[in-house]
Amino acid sequence: MAEFTMELNDEQKEVRDWLHGFAADVIRPAAAEWDEREETPWPVIQEAAKVGIYSLDFYAQQYFDPTGLGIPMTMEELFWGDAGIALSIVGTGLAAVGVLANGTEEQIGTWVPQMYGDANDVKLAAFCSSEPDAGSDVASMRTRAVYDEAKDEWVINGTKTWATNGGIANVHVVVAVVDPELGSKGHASFIVPPNTPGLSQGQKFKKHGIRASHTAEVILDNVRVPGSCLLGGKEKLDERLARARERAKRGGERVKNAAMATFEASRPAVGAMAVGTARAAYEVALDYATTREQFGRPIIDNQGVAFQLADMRTQVDAARLLVWRASWMAINGKPFTAAEGSMSKLFASETAKKVTAQAIQILGGNGYTREYPVERMHRDSAIYTIFEGTSEIQRLVIARTLSGMSIR
């Protein structure tokens, strides 16, 4: 087990500096254009693939970093560049985590490489969990998967929404109900291979922020996938459902479902995204405050501005520490006994919204225009308190974990 440390080693520093250079030289110059276009920034993704950032090998190295800091370090630097473009680059990772969290070794080896492709043939993947009537309330999920024993196939019907890369991805990971009587415990995850008949893109959303990231509905109309596409396999699913039914008879211990396993693993990473955006806004505000003069002196000479910047930096650093702690705990198999993963996402997400708003205030009228990046950063920051579990859900998870009560 790696000891927890706040100091990156030499190899990690080298990777961090490489990522920072890519974010500064490639992502930032393209950010405003792709925000306006509201389209997937394929040239940037292809450049990321060309240099090795968008690749299975790179993310595997970071994911299995024994310190746990590889992924949060990567997310912070890329999202420091721009949240929308960065999400287009890392969006495939959520689907990959879904397979890693729930799949067999054979499934991981088969499907995760197909999610990325290579530098000459870039692929994308999408994780599809949310539905029009089932976001935070996963128990209300309606997408249904029915097993056709004669053909050893699963038949999936339903509509997913808010899917990053939804409909344009080569591989989709879909969470569906297999036993409606068990509520959220009766869910399972499925791989939908490329070009599977019945899967199509529905509405593409025009968003407040992260506009360079493709977000859409995914329609599943009698989608048939082989039995081997059930993540974890049918034997494991049958055992899990049997345990869930037995627990239900005894009064109901909580059991993790497939979607929650994915979100639990990814929450510190989302926190790191928020840290990157918050840090970027803080740096813009600090630079502006030291160079902008009013009444014959830099505006940072005023306590009202200087104290805001002091609070902003403190909050960014505190958020990073919570993210690093949760990431270290996760890689070392330490249980989140106080919902440390949710804590990290909650605090970092709220910090990003607050810090970006303060940055606009410090820049004044300039901050409110698109001539400066902080207004885009503020728009982008709103998503962190919403996707992969709203701030309210994080507080609910934390409160339930601390109290042991089924707080509603």
Is 375 catalytic? The answer is: no
Euclidean distance between CA atoms 283 and 362, whole angstroms: 12
What are the CA-CA distances from residue 211 to residues 85, 107, 206, 284 (Å)? Answer: 8, 32, 7, 21
Closest residue by Cα to residue 277 from 196, 375, 182, 206:
375
**Residue 50: left if φ>0, alpha if ψ -120 to 50, beta else—which one?**
alpha
CB atoms within 10 A of CB 343: 23
Q: What is the DSSP letter of 167?
A: T
Token pair recorded at residue 379:
């728009």
Closest residue by Cα to residue 349 from 391, 317, 313:
391
**Catalytic: which of 217, 239, 388, 392?**
388
Euclidean distance between CA atoms 38 and 210, whole angstroms: 8
Start-end of H helices in 23-104: 28-37, 42-51, 56-63, 70-81, 83-90, 92-102
Euclidean distance between CA atoms 309 and 305, whole angstroms: 6
Q: What is the DSSP letter of 30?
A: H
Euclidean distance between CA atoms 152 and 362, whole angstroms: 61
User: What letters, b where the CB count within 10 A reaches 16 and e where it falls short, cover 353-380?
Assistant: bbbbebbbebbeeebeeeebbbbbbbbb
Closest residue by Cα to residue 173 from 243, 244, 263, 86:
263
Closest residue by Cα to residue 35 from 313, 265, 342, 370:
370
Could you give the residue numbers annotated as active site? Answer: 388
